[in-house]
Structure 1
Amino acid sequence: MLQEEITSKPSSEEVENLYKALSDEIKNFLIWCIIQGHRNEVEKLKLDPMTHFKTRAYLQLLINSKKINNLNIKGLAIVDLDNLKQINDRYGHLIGDKVIQKVSKIISKVTSQNTKMEIIRYGGDEFLILFFDGRNFIPTLHKIIEEIGKKEVRVKKEKIKLTASIGATKKVTNLSGAIKIADKNLYEAKKQGGNKVVIR
C-alpha cells in the first residue's frame, strides 16, 4: 500500500535543491508531489549521477500523472550516440561512460540558453529532450549533431570520432505517442547512416 511506503516527508534542503534544478514548467508538478507527501515520488526526481540530467523514472512519473497535459510540450527529440556498442566492445565500458559524459556536456552547452526544456537520460546512451518553446527546436537539434561531430575521445594513441543521430517530432498531443514517433524517426536516421536529424 502507498501509505506503508511513506516514511517521512523530504527535508527542506532536499526540496530546495530539487526545486532549483527544475524548469518553471515542472515546478508546479514537483510542488504537487511534495504536498502529497509522497517521498518515493520526490526521490524519483533526482538527477542521473553520470550526466546530471533527469532520470527515466522521472519521465515515467510525468507520463503516469494527469499533470502532463498541462506542460504544453512544443517538440520532443531523442538523441542517440552512434556506434557506442562498438566503442564499449573495443575499448571497454569506462571509455563508453566517458563518451556518454562528454556528449551530455555538449548537449548541456548547446541548450544552455534555453531554459524552457527538460533533458532526460532516456537510456544508456539516449537522451530525451522536451521543448516547451518550439521557436529554436530544429536549429537546436542540428546544432547538437554538429557539435558532437566536432568532438573526439582519445584512448592512448587512438582518437575516437563521435557522432549521434536524432529522431524528433512536433506532434506532442500525447507524450507516449510522441516518444514512439521520435523513436521511429531515430531508427530512420540510423538506417540512413546516422549523424543526422530526422523530423516527421
Structure 2
Amino acid sequence: MITEILLPAAGAVSLLGNVWAARTVRGLRGRLAEARRRAVTDPLTGLANRAGLTRALAGMADESYDLVLVDLDKFKQVNDTYGHAAGDRLLVEVAARISAVVEDIDGAVVARLGGDEIVLACPSPAPLAQILGADVIAALAEPIEVADGVAVPVRASVGAVHVTAGEDSSRALAAADAAAYEVKARGGDGMVEHNVLAALPEVEQRPLARMREMAALVRVLGVTA
C-alpha cells in the first residue's frame, strides 16, 4: 500500500520560493564575480589589464618590487605581413612565456597594457630587476609560430626598474617605459635598467607620450649635432 504525503499548499510554495531565491542569488553572484574578473583581465591573453595591474601594484605599495616593461619590436610588421590573427597568436604565446618566468613567485603579476606592451611585477626585497628582464629576454629567444608553417623571431625593448616601498607606481611605470624607449631608440632588442640610485621621474599629465617625445627629440638632436 502506497501512502501519499502531501505538503500543505503554502508550505510547497514557500519551499519552491526559497529554492528559486537561492539559485537566483548564486547565479547573480556568479555573474558579478565574472564581471569583476573581466573588468581586470585582458580578453585576448588572459593577463591582467591596466586596471588589474593598477590594483596589483596598489597591493605592493608597502613593499619593494621589481618592474619590467616589455615592448615588442616590429610587431606591426607581423600584423602587416601575416594578418591580425597572426599578431594575436604571437601575443598569446608571448604572454604565456612571460607568465612562465614568474609563475613560481608569490604575488607576481603580468599585465598587458594594450597593443604589444606587457608589464610584469613581482615582490623583491633586493634589486633584481635586471635579472628579471634578462629572464624575459631569454624566454622570448625561440621563434614563435604565427601561422601554419610560419615562425617569426621575437625581439623586444625591455625597461627594468627596482621600486622601493612607498614609491608611486605611476612613476615606476614611467621609469620602466623610458628605459624601454631608450632601447627602442637604439634599434631595439635589448634592455636598459633604471639607475637604482636615481629618483623616479615625475609624471606629467601625459607622462609616457611626453617622455617619448623628449627622447625622440634628444635622439634627433644627437644625430644632427
Same fold judged by TM-score > 0.5? yes
Q: Percent identity?
A: 27
- The answer on 1:138 being equivalent to 2:130 is yes
Match of 1:170 among 162, 166, 172: 162
Structure 1: gaps spanning 5 or more residues: 1-7, 19-39
1:56 & 1:83 partners in 2: Cα distance?
22
User: 1:44, 1:55 within 8 Å by CA — same for their partners in 2?
Assistant: no
Specify the SS of the correspondent of 1:194: coil
1:184 & 1:70 partners in 2: Cα distance?
21
Task: Report the equivalent of 1:182.
Answer: 176
User: 1:44, 1:57 within 8 Å by CA — same for their partners in 2?
Assistant: no
* 1:53 counterpart letter in structure 2: L
1:198 & 1:186 partners in 2: Cα distance?
6
**Aligned-pair distance for 1:134?**
4.6
- The answer on 1:11 being equivalent to 2:29 is yes
* 2:49 counterpart letter in structure 1: T
TM-score (norm 1): 0.70
TM-score (norm 2): 0.63
Specify the SS of the correspondent of 2:115: coil
Indicate the RMSD between aligned Cα atoms, in angstroms.
Answer: 2.9
Specify the SS of the correspondent of 1:51: coil
Match of 1:101 among 68, 79, 92: 92
Deviates more, 1:88-97 or 1:161-170: 161-170
* 1:189 counterpart letter in structure 2: V
**Aligned-pair distance for 1:155?**
3.6
User: 2:94, 2:140 within 8 Å by CA — same for their partners in 1?
Assistant: yes
**Aligned-pair distance for 1:171?**
3.7
1:30-59: CA deviations, max 9, x gaps? Answer: xxxxxxxxxx8x456542222111111223
> What does 1:1-200 align with in structure 2 at a 5 Å threshold?
11=29, 15=33, 42=36, 45-60=39-54, 70-135=61-126, 136-172=128-164, 173-200=167-194
Task: Report the equivalent of 2:211.
Answer: none
**Aligned-pair distance for 1:11?**
1.5
> How many correspondences in the alignment?
166
Structure 1 runs (4+) deviating above 6 angstroms are none
